[in-house]
Amino acid sequence: SDAAATESTTAPPADVPSGTAAGAVSQTWSADGGPLPEVVVSAGRVLVGSEHGVRALDPVTGAEAWHYTRSNARMCGLTAADGLAVAVFATEDRCDEAVALRAGTGVRAWTRNLNLAGDATLDSTTSIVLASNPTGVLTLDPRGNNVRWRYAPPESCRLLGADAGSTGVVVLQRCAGSQVQVRLLDGFAGSPNWSRDLPAAEGDAVRLLGADGAVTVLVGDEVQTLAGPDGAELSRLPVPGGTTDVEQSTVGTVSLVRIGGTVSALDTVSRARLWEAPGIGLPVATPAPKDPTRPAPLVLPDAEGFSFRDPATGAESARSAVTGLPPAGTASVVGPVVVLRLDDGVLGHR
C-alpha cells in the first residue's frame, strides 16, 4: 500500500543560527541530490530532493533533521513556498500526487491528487506553486492546496519555459514559424497582463531566465530585460558568441545578470544600470527589504570566495575567502553559514 511505502520523520522547529560569515570559510558539509528547489533554504532548513523523496538538513552541520520518502513513487519536482516544501510524485506514468510538508519540522500540511504530465517541473513564489511542461502550466495555492488555474498554449505553439515570480507567471512560447512570444499572466487569476513578440532567428537559443521584478529572457546573442508592469524594454546585454553560461537572479529591486564571469546589475524601478562585478555564480533571489534604506548585502560567489555587496552600488562590504568554488551556484546566508546551491547538490561553508 502507499502507507507501507511511505517513510517519514519529523523534527522540532529549527533554531536559526546567529552570527555572520567569517572572513575566511571552508566547506564543512555537502549533500548530493535532485531535484532541488530554486531556493533551498526555508524555515531554517536546507531542502534536498532525491529520486524518491525529500530530506531537510541542518544548515550548520549538514545533518538530517527530517525526511519524507515514497519507495513506490518517483519524485517529479520539489519547491519551497510560504514555509512549505511542496513535492509532486509519479506513481505510474504521470505526476499525480502532491504533498506539502512544513519545511522546519517535516510535519505534513496537506496531500492531494493531481493530473500532471510525467515531465512536469515545479517552481514557486510567495503564495503560488507552478507546475509546467511544454504543453501547459498549472498553479496551486501552497497553503490551501487548491488548483487555481491552468494555461495551455495556442494549438500552433509550444512552451519553451515558465517561471513564477513577483511579476506573476511568465510563459515563453514558440509558435508557428520562428515566432517567439513572452506572456505575463496574473499569478492568482491566470488572466493575461501583456504579451510581447521577440524576434528570433531559426536556431537561436531562447531561454526564460527570470520573472522577479522584471522579465528576463535570453534571445540569441543578447539578454533582454522587460518591465514587469507592461513588458517595455528595460535593457539589452550582449552575449559573446559561443557563451552558454548565462543566468539571472533578483535581489529586492535589483536584477542581476551573469554572462560568463561578469555580473551586471540593473534597477528594475528606475531602469538605471547600476554596476558590474566579477562573479561565477549569483545570490539567491530575495524580495525587496521592508526598509529600502537598509537593504541586506547580497552574497556573490566569485573566484576568490563570497563577496558581500551593496545591492545599489556594488560596493564590497565584506568577504568570506574560500578557494575552488564550483561555478554556476546560487548563494544564500544562514547566520555564519554560506549555503551554495548547485544543479546536483548543496554545499555548506563556515
Tens digits of per-residue pLDDT, 129-139?
A: 999 999 999 99
Angle CA 247–122–73, to nearest 5 = 130
Cα 138 to Cα 89: distance, rounded to the nearest angstrom: 15
List the one residue out of 110, 196, 163 whose CA is nearest residue 285.
163
Nearest alpha-carbon partner for 125 in 164, 85, 175, 182: 164
The closest alpha carbon to 140, from 88, 210, 67, 69, belongs to 88
What is the average pLDDT value for the chain, to the nearest integer? 94
Q: In what order do the strands lie in the sheet with 298-302?
A: 298-302, 305-309, 316-321
CB 37 within 8 A of CB 27: no
Strand-pair category, 246-251 with 128-133: unpaired
Residues in the chain: 350
Report pTM: 0.95
The answer to whether residues 40 and 47 touch, using CB atoms and an 8 Å cutoff, is: yes
Cβ contacts of residue 125 below 8 Å, gap of 6+?
Answer: 81, 164, 165, 166, 187, 211, 212
Pairing of strands 330-334, 282-283: parallel
Query: DSSP secondary-structure letter at 194?
Result: E
Phi, psi of 6 (to 5 degrees): -100, 130
Q: What is the amino acid identity at position 132? A: S
- Bridge partners of 133? 136
- At 172-206, the pLDDT tens digits run 999 876 689 999 999 999 999 999 999 887 778 89
What pLDDT is attached to residue 333?
Answer: 96
- 43-79 residue pLDDT tens: 999 999 999 999 999 999 999 999 999 999 999 999 9
Q: Which three cell numbers, joined as nine digits, stand for 158?
A: 509550444
Contact status, residue 89 vs residue 74, Cβ threshold 8 Å: yes
Q: In this predicted model, what pLDDT tens digit does every residue of 8-32 receive, in sequence order?
A: 999 999 998 899 999 999 999 999 9
Which amino acid, one-letter code, is at 46?
V
Residue 178 pLDDT:
66
Residue with cell 536559526: 16
Neighbouring C-beta atoms of residue 119, cutoff 10 Å: 14
Displacement of CA 246 from its chain's centroid (Å): 15
Q: What is the mean pLDDT of residues 327-336?
A: 96
